[in-house]
Amino acid sequence: MDIVNRRNFVKTAGIAAAGLAAAPSLTGSPLNLLREESDPWRVHFFSRHLQFLDYAEAADACLAAEMNGADLALRPGGHVLPENVERDLPLAEKAFRNAGLNIEMMASGITDQDDPLTEKVLQTASEMGIRFYRLGYYSYDPAISMINNLEKIKKKMNGLARLNEKYKIHGAYQNHAGSNFGAPVCDLWEVIRDMEYEMFPEKEMTLAEQKEQTIHLMRKDLVSLKSYLS
């Protein structure tokens, strides 16, 4: 498959994933709906589905699909491997920047501040302009109680919150379907509801204002398209 066909494939898949392909009233690119000046969106494509391409080709594919950048898979088996982050993330960032795009978010495998790669990944990501990252998943330990599981996870999340504040990067947890922590949502809320954090330390905001601003960012500024192609 040559790069032209790959571009056409990614463009079609991305638009279909956004649920916009069947919008007959729109003129021009369906993604123009997301780019009205009065209500701007920045659309980032999940790079897991582009891992058959190198960084420059992936950037070209995102550009051809009219994306703003990539939600970079920076995790074991991902587009950038955590152990190679200092070498490879700058290469990926440069490839997307050369295409006029950026990388503002990444999907990581990070779950614990004590992992020897965690701080190196977050520091490098922050230096490369990445503002958001998705944590890895926490599994429940059937050998201990639910309360002890939640306390264990909360301790790890609090540790990551301190690193996030240090490197001015925002962590997010996906409530993925299944049996992992976060799937029912109420367990996730139980862990994070009392966490103290400075999400926008450069601005004078109350905690409530910071949370409201975060919701605004996640709803209006960044969208990660996932085609979930088999």
The pLDDT assigned to 160 comes to 94
Q: What is the DSSP string of 204-219?
A: ---HHHHHHHHHHHHH
Average pLDDT over every residue of 206-230: 49
Q: Tell me which of 150 and 5 has the higher pLDDT.
A: 150
Q: Report percent pLDDT > 90 for the chain.
A: 57
105 HSE (CA, 13 A, CB side) = 26
Q: Tell me which of 171 and 223 has the higher pLDDT.
A: 171
Identify the structural domains of the chain with CATH numbers, from first to last. 3-225 (3.20.20)
Alpha-carbon distance of 83 to 37, in angstroms, equals: 40
- Token duo for residue 11: 């463009």
The pLDDT assigned to 43 comes to 86
Q: Tell me which of 179 and 215 has the higher pLDDT.
A: 179
Alpha-carbon distance of 127 to 168, in angstroms, equals: 10
Most confident by average pLDDT, 39-53, 167-181, 215-229: 167-181
pLDDT confidence tier of residue 195, bands split at 50, 70 and 90 = confident
The pLDDT assigned to 203 comes to 53
Alpha-carbon distance of 17 to 49, in angstroms, equals: 12
DSSP state of 34: G
Pairing of strands 132-134, 102-108: parallel
Average pLDDT over every residue of 194-204: 57
The pLDDT assigned to 214 comes to 56
The pLDDT assigned to 16 comes to 42
- Taking the CB of residue 19, how many other CB atoms lie within 10 A of it? 9
**pTM higher than 0.75, yes or no?**
no
Tens of pLDDT, residues 95-121: 999 999 999 999 999 999 999 999 999
Average pLDDT over every residue of 133-144: 96
